[in-house]
Amino acid sequence: MHEFSAACSIVDAAVQAAESHNVKKVNAVNVEVGEFTFLIPEQLEFNFEIASKKTILEGAKLNVKKVRGRIKCQQCAHEGEAQLQDDIPSQVAIFAPMKCPKCQSSATVITGGKDFVITNIEAEVSAP
Ligand SMILES: [Zn+2]
């Protein structure tokens, strides 16, 4: 149900945006999804289809772009993309300290990739 609640909040936000911009038809909603949300793009698209029924978004396509997680090192202040170790699935890695790629310290914090954002909405606007 993780994907369904995410899809609902995307639909809510997109409907609000569409209503405030005099939109008559939405063609696509583009979202960026952080790697640490563990949302599966296919599942999100499927749930978006269900959640958007009977709204202005019905029939619109959800385009999901995955973005890498980011970490910041508290030892050397390096900040960058999280480097997941290949042998640890990311679902587990988020609970284990990630090593700083610069100084190998484990004193890192996740600074990005834990949420999702609507980047833009492709829509047809009614003539004024
Ligand atoms: Zn470091």
Ligand 1 mean position, distance from CA 86 (Å): 20
Helix axis angle for 2-20 and 41-51, nearest 10°, is: 60
Ligand 1 mean position, distance from CA 76 (Å): 4
Q: Confirm if 70 and 82 have CB atoms less than 8 A apart.
A: yes
Residues 53-108: tens digit of each pLDDT: 999 999 999 999 999 999 999 999 999 998 766 666 766 666 667 889 899 998 99
80-81-82 Cα angle (round to 5): 115
**Which one has a higher pLDDT value, 126 or 56?**
56
**CA pair distance 89, 72, nearest whole angstrom:** 20
User: Tell me, what's the pLDDT at 111?
Assistant: 93
Residues 27-40: tens digit of each pLDDT: 999 999 998 898 99
Tell me the Ramachandran region of residue 91: left when phi exceeds 0, alpha when psi lies from -120 to 50, beta otherwise: alpha
Ligand 1 mean position, distance from CA 81 (Å): 12
CATH code for the structural domain at 2-68+113-125: 3.30.2320.50
Per-domain boundaries in the chain: 2-68+113-125, 70-111
